[in-house]
Amino acid sequence: MPSLQGKIGLVTGAGSGIGREVALLMARDGANVVVADVADDHGIETVKMIQRTGGGAAFVHADVSDPAQVEAMVKFAVDTYGGLHLAVNNAGIGGPAALMGDYPVDGWDKVIGINLTGVFLCLRAELSVIAAGGGGSIVNISSILGFVGFGQSCAYVAAKHGVIGLTQNAALEYADKNVRVNSIHPGFIDTPLVAAGGIEKGGDLWDFIASKHAMNRWGTAAEVATPVVWLLSDEASFVTGSQYVVDGGYLAQ
């Protein structure tokens, strides 16, 4: 298993879904984890889950679209644990479903603000701190929709494409400072975000989406967390600026 013993990590959107699974696995591998989320009760529950297994964790409220809150989030990690080595920029939303010609501008602004500007703001705050501490690793959570289009989702698709560019640029700029930056691109994953979007598990739409994956099923958050933590670990020491697809064969079809 990859070892994160003695490392200090930060995960945004860690109150549920992929972010929670990543935080749990990081803690299991020895990292102290700062759990960040806008939903305080969910984030605090993630911290309790980690602490119940003997891991170290602390919660901080953070809206990643707010520069001041992002800076405070990173400062909290440093003040609480003495530094920062690892970060997973996972927080995101789905946004409205509409044709581009009808897409609401306020919906566009919100999706871009969280899913793209939020990743930029996190990178901006994290990179210098991680570099100053001797280096480390950052993983940005994008999507298979960072590579292809998807009807009635122009803001989400644009944001996730943009995450690739941010990842590659950060990797180029900070490689000589011993900071690695990569992105993970999940397929459709069974998370609370999906349920909140109105897709009924086992329903016709659920089955249709499953059929778009070569494995004919949805993925789990744990299946995404495992490669994320590998990228964070020293076992991926020569990997930076890369995009890793975790999609059950969606893009292979």
Residues serving a catalytic function are: 156
Average pLDDT, the chain: 96
Q: In the structure encoding, which two tokens stand for residue 134, read together?
A: 């001797």
pLDDT value at residue 59: 99
| Structural domains of the chain, with CATH | 8-190+220-245 (3.40.50.720)
CA distances from 116 to 103, 120, 208 (A): 17, 6, 28
The rounded distance, in Å, linking the Cα atoms of 73 and 68 is: 9
Model pLDDT for residues 59-76, shown as the tens digit of each residue: 999 999 999 999 999 999
Model pLDDT for residues 104-158, shown as the tens digit of each residue: 999 999 999 999 999 999 999 999 999 999 999 999 999 999 999 999 999 999 9
Mean pLDDT of 229-233: 97
The rounded distance, in Å, linking the Cα atoms of 31 and 10 is: 10
pLDDT band per the 50, 70, 90 thresholds, residue 241: very high
DSSP letter string, 210-224: HHTSTTSS-EEHHHH
User: Which region holds residue 31: left if phi is over 0, alpha if psi is between -120 and 50, else beta?
Assistant: beta
pLDDT value at residue 1: 56
